[in-house]
Structures are given as structure tokens and as C-alpha cells.
Amino acid sequence: MLKAGGIDAVVNNAGLNRDGLLFKKSGGVIVSTSSLSRQGNVGQTNYSAAKAGVVAMTRTRAMELSRYDIRAVVVSPGLTATEMALSMPDEARARLTASIPVRRMGKPAEVGHAVRFVLENDFINGRTVDIDGGPRL
């Protein structure tokens, strides 16, 4: 069983034909994470599709929930020095890093700063904030 400090699990699932608004309450922001891979990446059909879906879901949330003063925004990191990226084979990681104009992986704290920027700026809504050092896959 997954334990995460009070929330045991959250499952986002699609496939029902019961349209309706997500929920009705006032104020707040929903920040989701996607990935630069949402634009498509060789060998990552499933991952790219899932990350593109997060963007579409967030855009829809923004349209539905803005009337309740609820914003929805995506923060979309590129290659970031996380456990997942650091577990990649060295050669693959070096090749990807070389494609980043700033010639390094992002730092988790930099992604955190982007999230904080989104939280502090009430005029960002329904958008994707890329934090990726400038490459295009």
C-alpha cells in the first residue's frame, strides 16, 4: 500500500462518458507536472502521450474552473537531475545533456522555483511553463 503523509493514493483515470464539471468551490490553483517529452520523443510513445494528456486536462480544468477563481497550470520540466534521470545510462544522459543549450540538466530546486512562481502569480492560468534549458526534442 502506498503511503504519502495522509493521502494514500490519487488516481487520474479517463474513459467514462459522464461529462460534468470537476468540482465547484472557490479559490485556489491546481499545478500539474508534465514533461518536455509531451511534444513527442522516439521510444516514449506512452510517456509522451501521458504527458500531453496532462496538458490537455489542465487546459480543460482552467476553462471549467476559472469562474470559481481556481487556476490550473502545468509546469513542464526537461531533463532534470532527479533519481529517474540519474538512473539513465551515462551515455544516454550525456547525449541528452549535450542537446540542452545551457549544457546541463536542470536542478530540482529550479523546477520548485517555477512552481512557486506559478503559485505566486494569479494571472497565469491554463498555460504550460517550460523549465528545460531551451532544447527541442
- Tell me the per-residue pLDDT of 62-108, one tens digit each, with 9 for 90 and over: 999 999 998 999 999 999 999 989 999 999 999 999 989 999 999 99
Q: Which one is catalytic: 25, 28, 45, 47?
A: 47
Distances (CA, A) of 132 to 80, 90, 100, 106: 8, 19, 8, 7
Task: Give the domain 28-131 fold.
Answer: Rossmann fold (3.40.50)
Distance separating alpha carbons of residues 47 and 25, to the nearest angstrom? 32
**pLDDT surpassing 50 at residue 2:** no
Q: What is the mean pLDDT of the chain?
A: 83
pLDDT number for residue 24: 56
Confidence label for 19 from pLDDT (cuts 50, 70 and 90): low
Distance separating alpha carbons of residues 72 and 59, to the nearest angstrom? 7
In the residue annotation, 68 being an active-site residue is answered as no
pLDDT number for residue 37: 85
